[in-house]
Structure 1
Amino acid sequence: MFRVLFLVAAAASCAVAHDGRPGRPRFLTGRSGGRVVPRSSGNDIFGPALPKLESRQVSTDNRCGVKFGTRCPNGDCCSLEGWCGKGPEYCNSPDCQLEFSDSCDGNKKPQGKDTEKVDRKKVGDVPYGQGIYDCGVDGAVALTYDDGPFTFTEDLLNLLKQYKAKATFFITGTNIGKGAINDRSKPWPALIKRMFDEGHQVASHTWSHQNLTDIKQETFRQQVLWNEVALADVLDGRFPTYLRPPYSSSNAKTDGWLADLGYHIVYFDLDTEGYLHPSPSQIQTSKDIWDKTVPGKDPATNKWLAIEHDIIEQSVHNLTEYMLKSLASNGFRSVTVGECLRDPAENWYRRMDGAGAKAAEESSAVVESTAQPTPGTDAATSVVASDAEPAATTAQPSYNPSLAKRVITKTIEVIPVPAKPNGAPSANGRCGTSFGGAR
């Protein structure tokens, strides 16, 4: 029973982690263009940002947040639905409204050395502060995993090791009740260190998965810098130069802030929507999306930047191996985002001591995956292992941002989030966020 409830909670959290708008249906627009939504330069793809409230009074009626304009008393958390209280239902990120509380898990700065004064020198050919949507190396597929580490991440690392595949992990510092990623009493530090040691790329997905366009600059800086603090604490003084905005939401202003902090902004051009299909009976839909995209395509002229989530069990235990076998049988390689952009590995991180990154003219070599995925143990679906490279590809120039696609494959949120009876019982038959009563 616990496992069933846990999985339902994880799926619901993932839905919230891709919506961020209380009381709105979990979808963006239609699916015109085959899951492709044009991205208007300089505009929030979710519409206008929520209002910024600089001066907030303490709530006197237990209501709080954007809708009510008041903050909770010290020690309380403001829930997604705008109620003050204590405990996971109120305080866990990303739901807790941290600009109206002082006790959300996202309000707590992680232990570690501050990174704010670290030099933000911009090196290499990959643009800073601009959206990157696709790879620049034919025959490469950059598998990326958001929101972890989580319960299933160790199994994912084992699977990638089995197939000699590389991936990129966009790490969230604290979310869905997992605690801080650098808390040594939890498994997360060892998993992140293993990612790095085994040649995967560790990137940022912010501290507590807030919509960057909906928060003040001070909160924005905390979301980025605090994740740096935690990651540097785990990775011996290193923190990423690559970041994926939560909800894929950024605009001209936040792009500029990320550029100032020295970040490459990464989106994607392939989304199997695994988080929308979290059960064994549903995950075939994600496989169908993959099969309509990758199999039968020529590695000499095709490449993708794909998004998945390692907080979704079926994405890890079912979909990932399906994709890895498909890549092998179709002549593609699973690589990091940095490799697929021809960015030298030393540019993927900054160092607290200032060492590491080199200018493009000093180094242009990229650490590449040298081996092809090995077959699984299932004889019916295994692929013959080979040390040979995939089909020959045409040499690619350095990444040219002017050639990048200006579209983003966007998720469509339809997983319901269980209602929480946080309000007082209704006395007039009305209930919900608009009326404040429980059912």
Structure 2
Amino acid sequence: MSNTKVESTDWREGKSLSECMMYTLKNEIKCDVTLRIGEDKTPVMAHKYILSTRSQVFHTMFEGPMSETGDIDIPDIDTKTFDLILEYIYTDSSNISNDNVENVLYAAEKYMLTNLKKACETFLKETLSSDVAAKYLDIAYQYHMDELKKLCVSYIKENTRNCLQSDYAVKLPKECIAIIMISDYLTCSETELCMFFMRWMEMQCQINNREPNGENMREIANKLLYLVRFTEVDMTYFSENVSKSGGLNSNEIISIYQSHFGEKNDLFPNQPRKPYGKKRFRSIANRFSDMHLKRSTKGLHALSFYTIRDVWLTGVVIGCPFVDWRKQSVSSCALKAELKVLSNNNSHVASSLKKFQLAEENGEMYGKCYDMILSSKLRISANKLYTCVLSMEIIKTTSVEYMCYVGTSGTQLTISDSVTVIFQNSSRSNAGTNIRQGQFAGLILDI
């Protein structure tokens, strides 16, 4: 008897189920349908039973009352993508990449391959970045992927400036632009958003083979125009670009100019957008390294400032009042400090009021500085001048002299957490406060 080992010639030997399935596909074993893929109708052999088992669409195609006979044409999917689809159908595995995810997603949607669609959504979530956030938002909108859409919207709100600089952002459809622009929470200035919107309108004209003139841009934008908060846009940019583009009519342009002089605007949203999410944090732009006591001076303390980028002003740090009760025949008194913030057209845009209780035993203890928090945060637009005005007066009695902590050797330019603040003297100041000294020790900013 021979001891020679007989090697198996069975192709199934040592293969898993998925490997066997792919072997029958690639070697066209028992295939019973020919699929002609792409524009060149490349023939691909497959098994009706397996396709029907995995896809309701294929089941209806082969088993329904209007079942197909003969070859099946699939001109809207290229062969490379269809190979990936067949691999998923036969083995339940997917090989998704940046290069193929859109095509795979299209095919998964077409053939109702729910789990493959979920795998595509997972891949998109895991690879979300500023370069692709706009593109992924469009994909999520097209394919009704609500979780991905929410994630993209949140990401764009947190990284608006970078996301809108991507090449795909200007190609977004109206519906996606509306999702972004309707938000009250974005991390870019209204001027930057307006610049992007102008580029978007021009690109949409190009996509639709139309001349990028004012009439066409207005027609394409339609109601989206009224999501831009033009009253918050830098007036220099508005005058030199927006007003001359033809996208707005004369009444709209006039109303925007008038809004900058305090008149109510009913055509466009007036509420400034707010910073969004984790990027918001508190920063104090300090002007002085130390504060010293100095006899108070009656009048107004005023100081102007502007910032290089848009920020939110939360409050102003002032030098605290002080009463040396041992030298005066009074056991207690109160002092009222009133702060107002004026815009560049001298409109009153924010305020804060504080009553300091100064007494022998019962008085409150204060340090050298006090944070006067505004009643509501104020959006500070880049390169626009604002003025802080502070008045202080003794109440309950007029016979008390008080001292104040005052800073000296102040800086005109302050850089705090990447925000540059430039201070300027104000003609309203008549109590000794200027860029070098005075009551304003710093600004409290939300970035």
Report TM bin, short chain. under 0.3
| TM-score, normalised with respect to structure 2 | 0.26
TM-score for the superposition, normalised by structure 1: 0.26
Q: Which has the higher helix share?
A: 2
More strand by share: 2
From the CA coordinates, give the structure whose radius of gyration is larger: 2
- Larger RCO, structure (CA 8 Å, separation 6 or more): 1
